[in-house]
Chains A and B, each alone.
Chain A
Amino acid sequence: MTRTYSLRRRLGLSLAIGVTAMWLAGALVAGLVARHELDEAFDSALQETAQRLLTLAVLDILDHEGDLSERRVAPLNAHEEFLTYLVRDQFGNVILRSHDADRSVFPAQPKIGFSDTATHRIYGEAAVNNTIFIEMAEPLAHRKEAAFEATLSLIVPLALILPFSFIGVWWLVRRSMLPVLDLGTQIEARDAGDLSPVSPDGLPDEVHPIAASVNQLMARLHKSLQAERNFAANSAHELRTPIAGAIAQTQRLLASVEDDEVRARVQTIEDTLQRLAHISAKLMQLARAEGGAVLAEAEHDLGPFLDAVVDEFHRTSGDGARIEYAPANAGLLISRMDGDAFGILMRNLIENALIHSPEGAVVKITATPHCVRVVNPGGIVEGGVLATLLKPFARGTGNAEGSGLGLAIAHAIAEAGGATLSLHSPAEGRADGFEARLDLK
Chain B
Amino acid sequence: MRILLIEDDRTLGGAIADQIAADGHAVDWAMLLEDAALSVKTAAYDLVLLDLMLPDGRGLDFLRTRRSAGDTTPVIILTARDQVSERIEGLNAGADDYLVKPFDLSELTARIAAVARRYAGNPNPLINLDGNEIDLAAHTVRRDGKKVDLTAREWRLLEALLQRPGAILSKAQLEEHLYNFDAEFESNTIEVHVSRLRKKLGRNIIETVRGVGYRVRGK
Contacts and interface: CB of A to CB of B under 8 A. Distances in A.
Contacts of A343: 82-85
B102 A247 contact: yes
A221 interface: no
B12 interface: yes
A251 B15 contact: yes
Contact of B15 (A240, A248, A274, A342): A248
Interface string B91-123: 000000110111111110011000000000000
A309 interface: yes
A242 B83 CA distance: 18
A308 B87 contact: yes
Contact of A339 (B10, B85, B110): B85
Chain B residues touching A, majority SS: helix
Nearest to B106: A251
B192 interface: no
Given A240-B101, A244-B80, A317-B107, A312 B11 contact: no
A214 interface: no
- The number of chain B residues touching the other chain, given as a range, is 20 to 34
Interface string A253-276: 001000000000000000001100
Contacts of B9: 241-242, 244-245
Contacts of B180: none
Interface string A164-177: 00000000000000
Interface string A292-335: 00000000000011001100100111000000000000000000
Contacts of B81: 233-234, 236-237
A240 B85 contact: no
A394 interface: no
Interface string A221-243: 00000000000011011101111
A245 B88 contact: no
A248 B106 CA distance: 10
A404 to B, nearest CB: 19
Interface residues of A, number: 37
B15 A245 contact: yes
A251 B12 contact: no
B53 interface: yes
A44 to B, nearest CB: 97
B73 interface: no
A305 B80 contact: no
Contacts of A245: 9-15
A315 B12 CA distance: 22
B167 interface: no
Nearest to A340: B83
Nearest to B52: A237
Given A242-B9, A308-B88, A237 B53 contact: yes
Interface stretch (B16-24, B26-34, B193-201): B16-24
Nearest to A251: B105
A252 interface: yes
A308 B84 contact: yes
B174 to A, nearest CB: 26
20 contacts: A242-B9, A242-B11, A243-B102, A245-B13, A247-B104, A248-B16, A249-B11, A249-B14, A249-B15, A251-B19, A252-B18, A255-B22, A255-B105, A277-B102, A305-B88, A312-B100, A315-B97, A339-B85, A340-B85, A343-B84
Given A315-B97, A339-B84, 16 more contacts: A233-B81, A234-B81, A243-B102, A245-B15, A248-B16, A252-B15, A252-B18, A252-B19, A255-B22, A274-B102, A277-B102, A309-B84, A340-B82, A340-B83, A340-B84, A344-B84
Interface of A: 233-234, 236-238, 240-249, 251-252, 255, 273-274, 277, 281, 284-285, 304-305, 308-309, 312, 315-317, 339-340, 342-344
